[in-house]
Amino acid sequence: MARERVQEGVALYDEGKYEQAVAKYQEALAAVPGDSHAQSELAMTFNTLKRYPEAAALCQQVLEKPDADVAVYVTYGNSLDGMGKPREAEQAYQRGLRQYPDSYALYYNLGVAQTGRERLDEALSSFQHAVSCNPRHASSHLSIGAVELARQKRVPAIMALGQFLVLEPRSERAMRRVVALDKAMSRGVTQQDENNITISIDSRTLTDSKRKKTGPDNFSQTDFLLSLGRAVEMDSKNKAKTEAERFSSLFSSMCRHLAEVQGKGNHGFMWEFYVPYYIEMEKRGYVPAFTYLIHSSQMEAGDVQQWLAAHKTEVEVFQEWARSYTWPKVKM
């Protein structure tokens, strides 16, 4: 009976009927007090309903047992965060990682908590662990992109946001993030009129590009060339191009440059994890399909929608390659 009530509760939860789900889980617990599955599902539902203290109390009970599932640690941390206890939330996720060291969900939620406390370097490491554990977790790629934008690291942000948009090209989140990606691609380049284009390079990029020895994940040279490339794309001789065509051309140039400098003293997670993906993507000729797919949420862009309608097979081939791509195991 308890198992049936839990299954009914899960179905109700999936339908968004949270209060009814609570009732089913409570019936299950009345039949079998202390049932871990029922307690775990009830805690998650309380958390969804923002009944954080009740969710946290249930999680504490379950975590005293040897069979606590990874989801309980996630719910516990979420509940503590909801109660305004971010430090305790981090401790809950870290406790869970000692039991489940390959859990992308725990790393991701740890990164969210660290971001909330403005500890961006630690958050970035947590999100990188998350995508390393599960390269198809779109939110972790998105979070890496957001953190890297906040840290003024343009090329890493572009690569992470691009992967997020490959995984989730048409969602509401995609509509916002593709705008951020386009802005990043053209950052520092402005056009006053048809004959005047201004390029602004921040001092850190210039300094880093001249260093013989650089730290991990330094993309200053690529950043510099990206700005030059964007200026060329905005030149009057390219005025007949659409924005998507300019993006595709510039992105291809970026990938080719990454291929040229890969292994020449460059190191770090972004170099080892993301760069090989984009180098291979460009070599296979998939940049146009990538470009139009990640802009597919822009329904008002007629040229994008027309291209997608006329090149369905190309997009499908690219998506199949992306799904089957073997991501490298990066030593963290």
Q: Quote the pLDDT of residue 98.
A: 95
243 exposure class (CB count in 10 Å sphere: 0-12, 13-18, 19+): middle
What single-letter DSSP state applies at residue 236?
G
235-277, pLDDT tens digit by residue? 656 677 888 998 999 999 999 999 999 987 888 999 999 999 9
Domain extents for the chain? 1-134, 152-332
**Spatial separation of the C-alpha atoms in residues 24 and 8, rounded to whole Å:** 7
117-146, pLDDT tens digit by residue? 999 999 999 999 999 999 999 999 999 999
Q: Quote the pLDDT of residue 210.
A: 54
**Spatial separation of the C-alpha atoms in residues 227 and 191, rounded to whole Å:** 12
Q: How far from chain centre, in Å, is Cα 137?
A: 7
**Spatial separation of the C-alpha atoms in residues 169 and 113, rounded to whole Å:** 26
Q: Rg of the Cα trace of the chain?
A: 23
Picking from 230, 233, 163, 158, the residue whose alpha carbon sits closest to that of residue 201 is: 230
How many other C-beta atoms lie within 10 A of the C-beta of residue 112?
A: 23
90-99, pLDDT tens digit by residue? 999 999 999 9
**CA 31 → CA 24, 62, 129, distances in Å?**
11, 17, 41
Residue type, 296: S
Alpha helices for 100-219 (secondary structure H): 104-116, 120-133, 138-150, 154-167, 172-185, 203-210
Assigned fold of 1-134: 1.25.40
Picking from 106, 125, 105, 103, the residue whose alpha carbon sits closest to that of residue 115 is: 125
| Angle at which helices 302-310 and 312-324 cross, to 10° | 80
Whether 124 contacts 144, CB under 8 Å: yes
How many other C-beta atoms lie within 10 A of the C-beta of residue 251?
A: 24
Q: Quote the pLDDT of residue 223.
A: 86
**Spatial separation of the C-alpha atoms in residues 133 and 285, rounded to whole Å:** 28
291-323, pLDDT tens digit by residue? 999 999 999 999 999 999 999 999 999 999 999
Whether 188 contacts 227, CB under 8 Å: yes
**Spatial separation of the C-alpha atoms in residues 66 and 59, rounded to whole Å:** 13
146-204, pLDDT tens digit by residue? 999 999 999 999 999 999 999 999 999 999 999 999 999 887 655 665 666 565 666 56
**Spatial separation of the C-alpha atoms in residues 279 and 253, rounded to whole Å:** 10
Q: What is the average per-residue pLDDT within 73-81?
A: 97
pLDDT at residue 88 greater than cutoff 60 = yes
**Spatial separation of the C-alpha atoms in residues 19 and 26, rounded to whole Å:** 11
HEC secondary structure over 52-89: HHHHHHHHHHHHCCCCCCHHHHHHHHHHHHHCCCHHHH
- The chain-wide mean pLDDT, for the chain, equals 90
In the numeric block, which tokens belong to residue 317? 């081939």
Q: Quote the pLDDT of residue 264.
A: 79
pTM score: 0.90
pLDDT band at residue 221, thresholds of 50, 70 and 90? Answer: confident
2-51, pLDDT tens digit by residue? 789 999 999 999 999 999 999 999 999 999 999 999 999 999 999 999 99
Q: Quote the pLDDT of residue 67.
A: 80
Task: Give the angle 211-213-218 at the CA atoms, nearest 5°.
Answer: 80
Q: How far from chain centre, in Å, is Cα 190?
A: 28
